[in-house]
Amino acid sequence: MKATWTIALLMAAGLHAAHASEIQVNFSNLTLSGNPGDTLQFLASVTNLSTTDTIYFNSISATGVSGDLDFEIVPFFLNAPLFLDPGESSGQFEIFDVAIDPAAIPGEYPSNTISLLGGTDGGALNDLADSVVEVDVKGSQTTPVPEPSSWILAATCVGWFVFRTRPLLTRLRRKRGGYGCLSGTQNRSRRQRNLRLDYSFTMDGKGPASLVNRIGETRS
């Protein structure tokens, strides 16, 4: 019984090794550089070198050398082929991204390991191929952009200031108005209008004496 399990394990190990050697991953560039806060896109193509087996690409894993590098594997699930037939090759696609922390220390970050997982069926997670990539962080840091809430707060403060000061400006404008600020023609027009009003008042039964008094008051 033990011998049977040993043979089975050896066969599985041999099959795993064969799959690993039958997959070729070609990166457009194994070393990318960027500033703190940048996101780098790694591109690659995959080739099935087997002449007999269809290979499924079911997952990917990444092991970074620093917590300042965030490996994002979502692009693999969006862009990688589900499988490749014998001898088939994919076109170049975005296989994963690396987000550099805004506080990352400038320098070289080598020996980050990427493993392509899959096998001869859709549930296999054998290690098909390993690749080592490098990220170089430059010296300058990305300037943070103000959040939208900061702009909203500033606009609210300006609007409140205008709302509070507008009544005061209106009162000052009215206080400066009056006959003293009008031209001679405008003053005469106002006096004539007052005379017409006084005359209409006397026609309501107040008598000519009231008209004379009001004309005198208006001229004075």
Check whether residue 98 and residue 171 sit in a common domain: no
Check whether residue 69 and residue 109 sit in a common domain: yes
Check whether residue 79 and residue 125 sit in a common domain: yes
Residue 115: CB atoms within 10 A of its CB come to 17
C-alpha 162/C-alpha 170 separation (Å) is 12
Check whether residue 36 and residue 126 sit in a common domain: yes
**Count of domains observed in the chain:** 3
Q: Which residues of 34-60 are buried (b: 16+ CB within 10 A; e: fewer)?
A: bebbbebebbbbbbbebeebebbbbeb
Check whether residue 77 and residue 163 sit in a common domain: no
Check whether residue 98 and residue 206 sit in a common domain: no
Check whether residue 10 and residue 65 sit in a common domain: yes
Q: Select from 77, 109, 137 the last residue of a domain.
A: 137
Check whether residue 127 and residue 197 sit in a common domain: no
**Tens of pLDDT along the chain (220 residues)?**
433 332 233 333 344 434 456 899 999 999 999 999 999 999 999 999 999 999 999 999 999 999 999 999 999 999 999 999 999 999 999 999 999 999 999 999 999 999 999 999 999 999 999 999 999 999 865 555 555 565 566 666 566 555 566 666 566 556 655 444 445 555 555 555 555 545 444 444 555 555 445 555 555 5
CATH at 132 = 2.60.40.10
Q: What is the pTM of this model?
A: 0.57
Check whether residue 65 and residue 116 sit in a common domain: yes
pLDDT score at 22: 87
Check whether residue 9 and residue 106 sit in a common domain: yes
Question: Token pair of 83, please?
Answer: 């499988």
Check whether residue 128 and residue 165 sit in a common domain: no
Range of the structural domain that residue 169 is part of:
145-176
C-alpha 197/C-alpha 9 separation (Å) is 116
Q: Select from 76, 108, 137 the last residue of a domain.
A: 137
Check whether residue 116 and residue 151 sit in a common domain: no
